[in-house]
Structure 1
Amino acid sequence: MQFLRRSLVGIFLLAITLALFAWAGNTVRLAVQERMNAEPRSFEQRERVLSVNVVEVQPQTIAPDLTLFGELESARTLDLRAVVGGTVLEVSENFRDGGRVEAGELLVRIDPRDAQAALNRTRANLQDSQAELRDAERALTLASDELAAAEDQADLRRRALARQVDLADRGVGTAAAVENAELAASSAEQAVLSRRQALAQAEARVDQARTRLARTEIDLDDAERTLADTEIHAAFAGSLAEVAASPGIRVTANERLGQLIDPDQLDVSFRLSTSQYARLLESDGTVIGAPVTVSLAVEGLNLTAQGSVSRESALVGEGQTGRVLFARLDNTAGMRPGDFVTVTVTEPALDGVALVPATAVAADETVLVLNEENRLREAPVTLMRRQGDDVIIRAPDLAGQRIVAERSPLLGAGIAVQPLNLDEQRSAAPAEPQVISLDPERRARLVAFVEGSQMPDEAKARVLSQLEQDEVPADVVTRLETRMGG
């Protein structure tokens, strides 16, 4: 009985368990069906609007700038060489590397004794040649007089012969008298010929004396020039470099003693590509006269000079490409030959172009344009030049329209945006002061720092002169205080 009772209880519990499982399964099935058959809930969708910086395309006339690198060189450079050899007796106090000399200043004097002795000998030879010429001229005068006398004597002999012949014809004279008269006339003619030969010799002697005098005068000029060449003078005002002479050394002819450079007349040479060269060509096919600006950064200062292209190299150069141009510069204070500088060449102006940020133009030369509903659309443009962080484009169809200044992968055609005017933001930004006033303590601290720095003397003098002014450039003060750590 007990076994049967336990078996029935177990069967009952099992039946209840199966019933509960069936009820739970049915409940889950009904819930799933209700969930699947129910309509989905809808939420209000809002379009995402991005804020972008925009600029307005404003067609204008722009002269693009080419930024290149070049090297300064002197327009006037002269090698100082010893024309004659000898011992250096004297040099100028300014005859040293970096020495400043004036035009005509005596730089080097070489021992002139040999040249002076040669000049004295030549002057003595000149006196001999002049005396020889005077003697030859006197001899020529005497020979002319002797010829005239001989011709007179010959005339007398001929008249005497004519009388003897006339007497003989009349039977008064004798044949012997006629023969004597003929012999005397013949002797007189022979004397005339001798005097003519003497006259010709005297004339030849005069010509030889004049030729000798001319040679002596040439030798005299050469000797005077050699004596003058013992002194080397500055051909123009400038600075000296590569000086290699001192008193007491012996120099040979054509030995280089130094180099005279005019630091105030500088040219800049720079190489540019063939395409850049083609953009600089004028209507006549030349680039002469293109404006050039040269800048040199020295110890926190930016030295600039203006100029224009004066000539171009005739050869490209072996293994080189492009073109080499030379520009003549004006007002090159602080610059020296050999400086490596930045060269900015102004190209011919372009009409109907616009200047926009470089980030506004994609690689396929398209921009994103805003329509009336502030939605974006792509538009093609023509990229003309790159100017630092900006580009020059030609897009006549976009005149007066707004484009995205900074493109990103999130932006594309059809997207709504919130425009922010980049030009207004730039104009609203406060401009940094160009010059500032310094209190005495701050000025004294900056002056002490500059005087104790390792700046070159020229740069140090330039900075100190700026610090002495009532108003000092703000960028100079900023750079100095940055180096001071203040």
Structure 2
Amino acid sequence: MSRKKQIIVPIVILAAGVVSFIGFQSLKKPPEEKAPVDNTPIVAVETISVEPMVLEVESYGLVKPKYETELVAQISGQVVELSDTFVRGGFIKKDQLLARIDPNDYEAALIDAQANMASARAALETERAQGKVAEREWERISHSSPTELSLRKPQLAQEIARVKAAQASVLRAKRNLERTEIRAPYDAMIESRNVGLGSFVAIGSPIGKVLGTSIAEVRLPVADKQLKFLIDQGKDSQVLLNGTYAGEKMQWSAHIARGEGVVDNQSRMSYLVAQVDDPYRLQASENSVTPLRFGSYVTADILGQRLDQAAIIPRHLVVNNAVAILDSELKLKYMPIEIVRQDGANVIVSNGLAEGDQLIISALDYPIEGMQLALPSDDAIESDLESVETQLAATIED
């Protein structure tokens, strides 16, 4: 009996364990099936815009007059008259009287020179008459030939020389009399005046300085490598000058008149000279036109070559003269491009890109041409926005 118990008890225990295991297994829930994970890289793109473009070269400079003249006295004397417009900042016309030096002594000198010339002419006529008399007397003598002295030719030449000297004295006296009037050499603006009414000036004394108002110039430094973006190295190119007037930003039109033809030995820059006609707008019919004042600092945009088709893209996206494009099948494609110019953080591309191309602007860990890519879905974007809004609301509540 005890032996049967020894056999039956282990069997019962084993059977109970099996039944318990089966029962527990039946109570266990089967594992939930997970949705397949999409590991396709998601990229951000930017649509390419291709359009005509005019290349520009930037520069800067100071506005200066093309002509400026230092007026000096060519005679000595006392200043007896000054024009009301002969003041700093005054505008004057060509040949306008600015100042007058006392002309009395020079008028007297002219009268004296004219008297000497009249006397010399009278002496010349007398000598000519005497020469004719001498010539007729020698015609009566047939056995010898007359000499030049006997015909009074040296005396005639001397009187002719005296007349010429008297004429020169008259011209000199007239010129000195004209120099008593200080007149404007061209349409100008007064920069400075160095004399006052009653001042005494000597030959070479400074009278003032005038600046021509017909043309203003701006010397524009340009790096040598930038000249290739201009037509004919900038000759006759249009220029947009940008500056301020009365605290407001203004723009003026100009053109490149010439290049200086040398490279500055300090800055290593080439210089182009832009000209502006009538900078103070003295000939303009509208009073609202803004003048371009001498001494103003301006920046310049020199208009250069025109590209029929061009696009601007960030420079850091270019690798080995190619950019990553998302094609119509959402696959990665490297498009070779032709870079015309680097412009700061961007590059200007003339060939290789078309209107509407999707430029990939996000980074890829292991890019392989032809790999499948994806764009962020609208649901994902909305989910990210809701998450950000929730975090922001929680931060505000805290």
The aligned counterpart of 2:224 is: 274
Cα–Cα, structure 1 residues 124 and 331, in superposed 2: closer, same or farther, change >3 Å? closer
Which structure has the highest strand share of the two? 2
Cα offsets for 1:358-400 (capped at 9, x unmatched)? 377347654331122435444343332245776421333x324
Q: How does 1:25-424 map to 2 (within 5 A)?
A: 43-44=34-35, 45-47=37-39, 52=44, 54-58=46-50, 60-149=51-140, 151=141, 189=143, 196=147, 199-200=150-151, 202-282=152-232, 287-330=234-277, 332=279, 333-351=290-308, 353-358=309-314, 361-362=317-318, 365-386=321-342, 391-396=347-352, 398-404=353-359, 407-409=361-363, 413=367, 415-418=373-376
Query: Does the 8 Å contact 2:322/2:337 carry over to 1?
Result: yes
The aligned counterpart of 1:429 is: none
Cα–Cα, structure 1 residues 40 and 214, in superposed 2: closer, same or farther, change >3 Å? farther
Query: Does the 8 Å contact 2:78/2:198 carry over to 1?
Result: yes
Larger radius of gyration: 1
- Counterpart CA distance in 2 for 1:416 and 1:63 is 36
Query: 1:101: Cα distance to partner?
Result: 1.1
The aligned amino acid for 1:339 is S
Query: Does the 8 Å contact 1:55/1:402 carry over to 2?
Result: yes
- Counterpart CA distance in 2 for 1:78 and 1:124 is 37
The aligned counterpart of 1:164 is: none
Identity over aligned pairs, percent? 21
- Counterpart CA distance in 2 for 1:325 and 1:225 is 41
Cα offsets for 1:115-163 (capped at 9, x unmatched)? 22322221121122112101111211221222233x2xx5xxxxxxxxx
Question: Could you state the TM-score of these two structures normalised by the residue count of structure 1?
Answer: 0.62
> What root-mean-square deviation, in Å, do the aligned CA atoms of Structure 1 and Structure 2 show?
3.2
Cα offsets for 1:312-363 (capped at 9, x unmatched)? 1133233231210112224634112221111111112234x42234377347
Which structure has the highest helix share of the two? 1
Query: Does the 8 Å contact 1:55/1:356 carry over to 2?
Result: no
The aligned amino acid for 1:297 is T
Query: 1:239: Cα distance to partner?
Result: 0.8
The aligned amino acid for 2:240 is T
Question: In structure 1, the residue corresponding to 2:305 is in which secondary structure?
Answer: coil
Question: In structure 2, the residue corresponding to 1:368 is in which secondary structure?
Answer: strand
Cα–Cα, structure 1 residues 379 and 275, in superposed 2: closer, same or farther, change >3 Å? same
Question: In structure 1, the residue corresponding to 2:263 is in which secondary structure?
Answer: coil
| Deviating more after overlay: 384-393 vs 250-259 | 384-393
Query: Does the 8 Å contact 1:51/1:419 carry over to 2?
Result: no
Question: In structure 2, the residue corresponding to 1:216 is in which secondary structure?
Answer: helix
Cα–Cα, structure 1 residues 387 and 222, in superposed 2: closer, same or farther, change >3 Å? same
Cα offsets for 1:49-88 (capped at 9, x unmatched)? 7574522353x54321112112222123222221112221
- Counterpart CA distance in 2 for 1:355 and 1:204 is 90
Query: 1:301: Cα distance to partner?
Result: 2.6
- Counterpart CA distance in 2 for 1:382 and 1:316 is 30
Question: Could you state the TM-score of these two structures normalised by the residue count of structure 2?
Answer: 0.74
Cα–Cα, structure 1 residues 114 and 408, in superposed 2: closer, same or farther, change >3 Å? farther
Query: Does the 8 Å contact 2:63/2:217 carry over to 1?
Result: yes
| Deviating more after overlay: 385-394 vs 90-99 | 385-394
Query: Does the 8 Å contact 1:61/1:349 carry over to 2?
Result: yes
Query: Does the 8 Å contact 2:59/2:301 carry over to 1?
Result: yes
Query: 1:255: Cα distance to partner?
Result: 2.5
